[in-house]
Chains A and B, each alone.
Chain A
Amino acid sequence: MALDRWIALVILLIFAAYGYGAWFTMDGSLPPFMRRNPIWPSTFPKVISILGILTALIVVSGIEQKRPKSGAQAASASVYRTIAGYHLAPAIALLALMVVYAFALRPAGFLLSTVGFLMAGAAILGERRWITMFVVSAIAAGTVWYLIQQVLGIFLRPLPAFMGV
C-alpha cells in the first residue's frame, strides 16, 4: 500500500474517534433546556464525521486513484526512493533543535536561546565560520528582541532566569 493510502487510513481512524465522540459521548453533558434546540453542539461534528469517514474510505480503497503501471508496489517503492535521495538527517536535527528551543526559551532567556538556535541551525547545515555566525545571530537576536519588546510591546525574558527579570 502506498504512503498516501496509509495516511488516509490514519485519517480514517481520527475521523472514527471524532465521530465516536460526537455521536456517543458529547450529548450526555448537554443541559436539558438545550435539548429542545434543533441544533446541538454535536450536530455539525456528526455531519463532518460521516462525510470524513466516507471520503477517507474512498481514498483508502484507492478506487479514485490512477492505477500505476505495475501495481501499487511500484508507486510506494518510488516514494521511498525519492525519500532515500533526501537529506533526512539535517532536517530531523533541525526539528529536534526547534523542540529544544521551545523548552529552552523560558528558562534560558530569549537572547541566549536564539543565538544558540541560529548558530546550531547554521552549523547543522554545514556552516563553519563560527565568528561570522555568532555576529549574524547576535545582531538578529538583538534586533528581533528589541522589535518584539519595544515596538510590539510583548514581554520576552531576555536573559536566563537566574539572572533576574
Chain B
Amino acid sequence: MLEGVLIGLQTALSLQNIAMVIGGCLIGTFIGMLPGLGPMSIIAIMIPVAISLGDPAAALILLAGVYYGAIFGGSTSSILLNAPGVAGTVATSFDGYPMARQGKAGKALTIAAIASFAGGTIGAVLLMIFAPALSSVALLFHSAEYFALMVVGLSAIAAFAGAGNVGKAVLMTLLGLLMATVGETTMAPMPRFTMGMMDLQSGFAFITLAMAIFALPEALYLVFDPARSKTGEAGDIKDLRITREEAKQMAPVVGRQSLQGFFIGVLPGAGATIASFLGYAVERNIASKEEQDKFGKGSVKGLAAPETANNAACTGSFVPLLTLGIPGSGTTAILLGALIALNVTPGPRLMVDEPQVFWAVIISMYIGNLVLLILNLPLIPYIAKILAVPRNYLIPFILFFTLMGSYIGQNNSTELLILVGMGICATILRFADYPLAPLLIGFILGSMLEDNFARSMQLYEGVAFIWERPMTLALLVIAALLVLVPSYRARRAQARADGVADGD
C-alpha cells in the first residue's frame, strides 16, 4: 500500500493535478451553492472539459473535486437561505438555518466546514483501507459474477431510488438498458435498433444523455418555477469561531457519522442524501433528553451529523466505482462514463493496470478536503455573494453549456436536436415522478452487463452458469429480493392501511 500511496502522491502533487483539485473544488462550491442545481448537472456539464484533458487521473481528480465541492457548497445555501442546492444537504438546513436565524451564521458555517472536512478525510482513509482489500477479492470474480453483481447494483439502485414505487424505478433501469443496446455490439458487426439512422450507428452519446437527463430538466424547472431559484438576503456573516464546548460536542458525532456515512455511501443506491438523513436521525435518537429538544432549533450536533455523513458518503461511493467498476449513484455513474470515454476501465484491474489513477484520486481527496477548508473558512462571506447571481443570465448560460457539451462530444448538430428531444422527455418523466438516475446507470452499465452475460454464455454454452456457480446464483437471488421485498412490504402496508380505513 505504501508504494501505492507514493505513486499517488507523485501523480496528485503535479502542478496540473493540484490546479485540477483547486479548480474542481471552486467550481463545485460555486455552483453547488446555487439553489436548484445539483452535483449531477454540474458534473455533466464539466465532463467534456474533463474528457478533453486526455489524462484520466486529472479528469477524475477534477470531477471528484467538483463532486465534493458541490456537496460543500450546497450546505452553505442550506444554512444561509434554507434553500438546499443539493438533496444531500437538505438535512443540514434542519439545524443550520435556525442557527443562522439566531445570528450565528458564521458559527454554523464553520461547524459545517469542519464536519465536512472531517467526514471527507476520514472517508478517504477508509477508502484507502477498504478499496484495495475489496479489489483483491474482486479479482477472483469471473464474468458470471460480474454479470450478477451488476444486476445486484441495478436492482439496489432501483429499490432505493423508487422509494415505495419500485416498479417505476425498475422500468427506468430497463429503459436505460434498452437505450444501451442501440448501435453496434461487440459480438457481431451489425447495427441494432438504429432504425436506419446513421447518427445512431455508434449508439446514443453518453454525454448528451447525461446532460439531457440531469442538467436540462433542472434548468427548465428553474424556469417553470421561479420561486425555486429565489435568492433571499444572506445577511451578515461574522464571528466564525466556535467554542471549546461546541468542539467537544461535535467530536463524537463526527467520529460516528464518518464511519456510518462512509458505509452507507459504499452501498449501491444509497448515497449522500440517505446518509445525511439517517445520520441526523441516529444522532437525534442517541442524544440525551435535553439535547434532543435542541434538535431542529440550532443544535450543534444536529448540524454536524448530516454534514459529516454526506461528505463521508460521497467518498464511500467511490469504493464500488474504483474496485468493481459499478457505480452506486447517478454521480458516480457519470464519473464511470467519463472514465470509459478516456479508455480506462474501472474495476479490480484498475489498481494493477493504472495504479496512478487509483491512488492519485484518493490522495487528491485529502488535498481537496484541505483546499475546501482553507478556501472556504476565510472566504465564506465573499463566496456567499454569488447567491445573488441573476437567474436571467444563469439559465441561458446553463442551457448554452449543455448545448456546447454535447456538441463538442460529437461535433454534430444532430446531437443538439437529440439533446433537446431527450431533455423534453426527461422533464416529462420528472413531472410524473419517475426517478431518472436509474435510467442513466442502466444505460452506462448496459453494454458491460451484456458483454459479461455474453462471455458467461459462451463459456458455459448456455445459461447453466446461473445455477452452476453458487456465488452467481446467490447474487441473483439477492438482486431479486432487493426488488421484490420493498414492493411486497409496500403492498402489505397498503393492505393494512386499507383495513384501518374500512373500519372508520
Interface residues of A (CB under 8 A from B): 2-4, 7-8, 11, 14-15, 18, 21, 26, 29-31, 34, 37-45, 48-49, 51-52, 55-56, 58-59, 64-67, 79, 83, 85-88, 90-91, 94-95, 98-99, 101-103, 105-106, 114, 117-118, 120-122, 125-127, 136, 140, 144, 148, 152, 154-155
Cβ–Cβ contact A122 & B392, under 8 A: yes
Cβ–Cβ contact B225 & A87, under 8 A: yes
Chain B residues, Cβ within 8 Å of A34: 188
Chain B residues, Cβ within 8 Å of A95: 220, 420, 423-424
Q: Which of B252-260, B402-410, B470-478 contacts A (4 or more CB under 8 A)?
A: B402-410
Cβ–Cβ contact A11 & B171, under 8 A: yes
B301 at the interface (CB under 8 A from A): no
Give A140 Cβ to nearest chain B Cβ, in Å: 7
B462 at the interface (CB under 8 A from A): yes
Contacts A14-B175, A29-B190, A38-B460 known; list 7 others, CB within 8 Å: A7-B428, A39-B454, A49-B178, A55-B167, A55-B171, A87-B225, A121-B395
- The chain A residue sitting closest to B490, CB to CB, is A64
Q: Please report which residues of chain B, range 406-428, place their CB below 8 angstroms from some CB of chain A when the two chains form the complex.
A: 407-408, 411, 413, 416-417, 419-420, 423-424, 428
Contact pick for A86, options B225, B424, B454, CB 8 Å: B225
Interface residues on B, range: 35 or more
B343 at the interface (CB under 8 A from A): no
Chain B residues, Cβ within 8 Å of A11: 171, 175
Chain B residues, Cβ within 8 Å of A86: 224-225
Top 5 closest pairs, chain A to chain B, by CB: A121-B396, A102-B416, A4-B432, A86-B224, A127-B392
Chain A residues, Cβ within 8 Å of B413: 102-103, 105-106
Chain A residues, Cβ within 8 Å of B429: 7
Between-chain CB contacts (< 8 Å), 26 pairs: A3-B431, A4-B168, A8-B168, A38-B457, A38-B458, A38-B460, A39-B454, A40-B187, A41-B190, A44-B449, A52-B175, A64-B491, A65-B165, A66-B494, A67-B494, A79-B431, A79-B432, A86-B224, A90-B223, A95-B424, A121-B400, A122-B392, A127-B390, A127-B393, A148-B408, A154-B408
A125 and B396 contact, Cβ closer than 8 Å, known pairs A38-B461, A64-B487, A79-B431 = yes
Chain B residues, Cβ within 8 Å of A103: 413
Where chain A touches its partner, the secondary structure class is helix
Give A12 Cβ to nearest chain B Cβ, in Å: 9
Contact pick for B192, options A37, A41, A122, CB 8 Å: A41
Chain B residues, Cβ within 8 Å of A40: 187-188
Cβ–Cβ contact B392 & A152, under 8 A: no
Cβ–Cβ contact A44 & B403, under 8 A: no
Chain B residues, Cβ within 8 Å of A127: 390, 392-393
Q: Please report which residues of chain B, range 379-396, place their CB below 8 angstroms from some CB of chain A when the two chains form the complex.
A: 390-393, 395-396
Contact pick for B395, options A88, A94, A144, CB 8 Å: A94
Chain A residues, Cβ within 8 Å of B404: 144, 148
Chain B residues, Cβ within 8 Å of A79: 431-432
Cβ–Cβ contact A91 & B224, under 8 A: yes
In the complex, the number of residue pairs spanning A and B with C-beta atoms less than 8 Å apart equals 169
A7 and B434 contact, Cβ closer than 8 Å, known pairs A38-B457, A59-B171, A121-B396 = yes
A2 to B126, CA, bound (A): 46
A13 to B491, CA, bound (A): 26
B170 at the interface (CB under 8 A from A): yes
Cβ–Cβ contact A121 & B408, under 8 A: no
Give A92 Cβ to nearest chain B Cβ, in Å: 9
A41 and B188 contact, Cβ closer than 8 Å, known pairs A95-B420, A125-B392 = yes
Chain A residues, Cβ within 8 Å of B201: none
Cβ–Cβ contact A118 & B397, under 8 A: yes
B185 at the interface (CB under 8 A from A): yes
Give B419 Cβ to nearest chain A Cβ, in Å: 8
Give A156 Cβ to nearest chain B Cβ, in Å: 8
A118 to B398, CA, bound (A): 10
A88 to B220, CA, bound (A): 9
Chain A residues, Cβ within 8 Å of B175: 11, 14, 52
Cβ–Cβ contact B403 & A52, under 8 A: no
Contact pick for A39, options B168, B187, B223, CB 8 Å: B187
Cβ–Cβ contact A122 & B458, under 8 A: no
A116 to B134, CA, bound (A): 52
B481 at the interface (CB under 8 A from A): no
Q: Please report which residues of chain B, range 199-228, place their CB below 8 angstroms from some CB of chain A when the two chains form the complex.
A: 220, 223-226
Give A100 Cβ to nearest chain B Cβ, in Å: 10
Chain B residues, Cβ within 8 Å of A43: 454, 457
Cβ–Cβ contact B167 & A64, under 8 A: yes
The interface bits of chain B over 472-504 (1 if a CB of A lies within 8 angstroms of the residue's CB, else 0) are 000000000000000100110010001000000
B55 at the interface (CB under 8 A from A): no
Cβ–Cβ contact A26 & B392, under 8 A: no
The interface bits of chain B over 160-181 (1 if a CB of A lies within 8 angstroms of the residue's CB, else 0) are 0000111110110011011001
